Chain A
């Protein structure tokens, strides 16, 4: 169950990516953190779109995609550790929330070469003088 504490922290990072806010901000009010701030919006029936980072979620279909990930973030930050998903579950859920288009750098990011895994940045070559 130990890894569940990482899952919670990961959920907080997801919320940071979604809202652009820090985990603790004065605006949240006393002893309320980003998790509670989002949950309170749900309880108060405030539309969750308002919580999203306005610099990122500035059009309708992007907001839809972001809300899918917000659901994952909420799952990760549930109070009971046993209710939190495993990291493998998170990956498959993220797969279903994948944005529909690619960014400029996306192609490279998803197809990095084998060399990077198997070789160090430091070559053994005499050209480097690193014998």
Chain B
């Protein structure tokens, strides 16, 4: 396909010729210019409602308008108003305009060909595309240029170097490519250079070392390779250097130690080798130092403890060895210390946290030994304490169980002994308490049951001896309670009435006695229940078979009696059932998944027969296992493994995002924490800036914008990426769900997600669980063609000329030709109608709902369902 290249042409008029215009005439003119600017804008939230003619109206007081002392407009600030549409050419008549800000809107179309001689322009966080900035010689006055967060592309050209007045150049978050032009050295006034998040390549030019005013250089998230030029050490004014996430290599130059103003140094996720230069210790201004995710070797230099202002030290995921310099505990500002995934050894400084307001401490997956310092929370700021996979010994300090700021405590797989200190249940922010795989003894402290915040408790693989506190499963937010492999005795508490969140309960390999309480069935969200290897008796409660989410049920190695409940095979979500080695009797029901259950999962019950087991009359024991089913289990194991790796990856990314949020600005709105609703899966066809839960939060009646043969459409505004989506929730019958046809759908939608054409609506993702499916499209601002022609929406007013209508006809033809001729296999739409043709911000046609009619129709497999809509169906088909 031929790629069209467009030139985004910012032309700055010559200043001298416009300055002598009479001011009084300007005032009247400028008011009408502003009105004409407004007329081509689409302003759905009516931010510009005061831009109107009235007797008293002074346009200088209008929203976003600022005038100079002569009453001429010098500043236009239309940021964050949800505007789309066009920036009118008439803006060039605002001859005194020096500052123009339209950031955080939804503009896609090009800027006007001429714009006044601006000093400051901010078009960041829109959807502008284009391949190039071209600057005329008269534009040299530009001081501030922010075009970050758009879809701009192409090379950064040499003529950028002509903008010698430039102090701020922010092109972050676009699709620029190629290497940096050497003309950057001409930008001697440049204070801020933001190029991160592009596709820039090549080596970092050493000429950047010649920029005397540069304070902030954000060059990360590109594909730069090669070493950091030692000349970077000459930029005396540099405060912030971000080279993170790239392909840089070689040793970190010791010359960086000459940077006497540097506060932030981010080199993470590159291929740097060698040791951490001692000279880093002389950058005493340094507050943030992140060298993580490289291949650095050797020890952490002692000199690093001279960085008295250091707030963050991240060295995780390197190959560092040796011990932590003890003086690190003297750093009075240190908040974040992450050293995980290295081969560090020795003890943590015994007074770590005594002088430092530690918030995050993560030294997991090293070879640390000795005791956990009792001073970690002395300053009362500790939120994350992550020590797992080391060989820490001794007891859990009692000072931790009174540390009110804690959110996560993860100490599994160490050699800790003693009992779990009392108090963790009283910590109102604590969400995760992971102490598995230690040598903890004693009981489960009673206060854990009182927790209002804990969602994940893992005490597995310890030596805990006690019964379970009777109300422990009623913790309101508890999602996982895992105490496998201990010496827990007594009965399973019969307190399941209030377990609103519990999804994973593992009490396996203990010495529990008594029966399985039937009230367990009231745990509506329980997905996995593992009671294997206890001394449970009695029957399997029939109510278990009605649990709507239960997928994994392991009751093996107990002394359960009675028969398998008749309905267990058709239990709504059950996928894995193991009742082996009990004292069950009677016939195995032949229904649902029991028809194909692995006989191993039933073996060891001498009284069970029938179904997949030998017929009841013969009373033979099931013998050898089926290798094919065994194979399936291996596959399942792999899947779980891969899923865990993915989960870890996501965790890393989330952590990174939090960092970015801390140390950078430029967001349009507040990011909301994702709730991560487990059962929903989001299949993305594009890079998405939102999560499943962001979308689900918008699926409510007030956001409904339409309903059709295939489903209900909702409008979903993603505040964090200032994107608007259309989400179609497909109709599904109960029969579909039972058939388990979701898999077919996923495959089909996956095909549709790969279709790319400017005249078909972009399918961004697919959100599904076992019951529901939603297709996520980009939202089309101007609605559908049917409403536009037949006068139900505002776009109709724009469709009164034949050229516009012809262009729509042509666009639809191109889209359909793509579906018919360029896709393999060809995609037949089957429901082309004006209501399925949407109009984007430029009134370009986009075909929607492709492929769905067929999917819906084929599934039904009945002749009564005709895909298509009356009036549009070819005669022979009706």
Contact = CB atoms under 8 A, between A and B. Distances in A.
A94 B802 contact: no
B808 A115 contact: no
A86 B807 contact: no
Interface string A1-31: 0111110111011101110101110000000
A23 B770 CA distance: 38
Interface in A38-95: 55-57, 62, 65-66, 69, 77, 79, 81, 86-88, 90-91, 94
Interface stretch (B585-593, B702-710, B825-833): B825-833
Interface residues of B, number: 98
A121 B127 contact: yes
Contacts of B868: 5, 9
Contacts of A119: 129, 151, 153, 175
A5 B871 contact: no
A126 B664 contact: yes
A69 B806 CA distance: 9
A123 B151 contact: yes
Contact of B173 (A90, A99, A127): A127
B671 interface: yes
Given A9-B874, A14-B809, A99 B723 contact: no
A105 B842 contact: yes
Interface in B776-813: 778, 785-786, 789-790, 800-813
Interface in A90-114: 90-91, 94, 97-99, 101-103, 105-106, 108-109, 111-114
A128 B689 contact: yes
A101 B786 CA distance: 25
B131 A113 contact: yes
Given A123-B197, A126-B197, A91 B6 contact: no
B687 interface: yes
Interface in B862-878: 868, 870-877
Contacts, number: 253
Interface stretch (B178-186, B420-428, B542-550, B655-663): B655-663
B847 to A, nearest CB: 10
A118 B833 contact: no
B599 interface: no
Given A56-B805, A116-B129, A10 B877 contact: no
A126 B172 contact: yes
Nearest to A17: B805
Contact of B110 (A9, A108, A125): A108
B777 to A, nearest CB: 12
A26 to B, nearest CB: 13
B858 interface: no
Contacts of A65: 802, 806
A119 B664 CA distance: 24
Contacts of B657: 129, 131
Contacts of A112: 4, 6, 129, 758, 844
B153 A87 contact: no
B743 interface: no
B197 A125 contact: yes
Interface stretch (B51-59, B484-492, B611-619, B815-823): B815-823
A17 B808 contact: yes
Interface string B193-207: 010111000000000
A87 B813 contact: yes
Interface string B163-174: 000000010111
A119 B130 CA distance: 11
B148 A125 contact: yes
Interface in B668-714: 671, 686-689
A66 B758 CA distance: 25
Contact of A122 (B172, B723, B805, B877): B723
Nearest to B843: A105
A58 to B, nearest CB: 9
B820 A6 contact: yes
A5 B720 CA distance: 42
B342 interface: no
B5 interface: yes
Given A113-B130, A115-B152, A130-B721, A12 B871 contact: yes
A70 to B, nearest CB: 11
B116 interface: no
Nearest to B668: A128
Contacts of A57: 802
A115 B871 CA distance: 38
Contacts of B305: none
Contacts of B800: 55-56
A87 B820 contact: yes
B92 to A, nearest CB: 16
B638 interface: no
B634 interface: no
A9 B826 contact: no
8 contacts: A16-B834, A24-B870, A87-B821, A90-B813, A94-B810, A119-B175, A124-B173, A125-B221
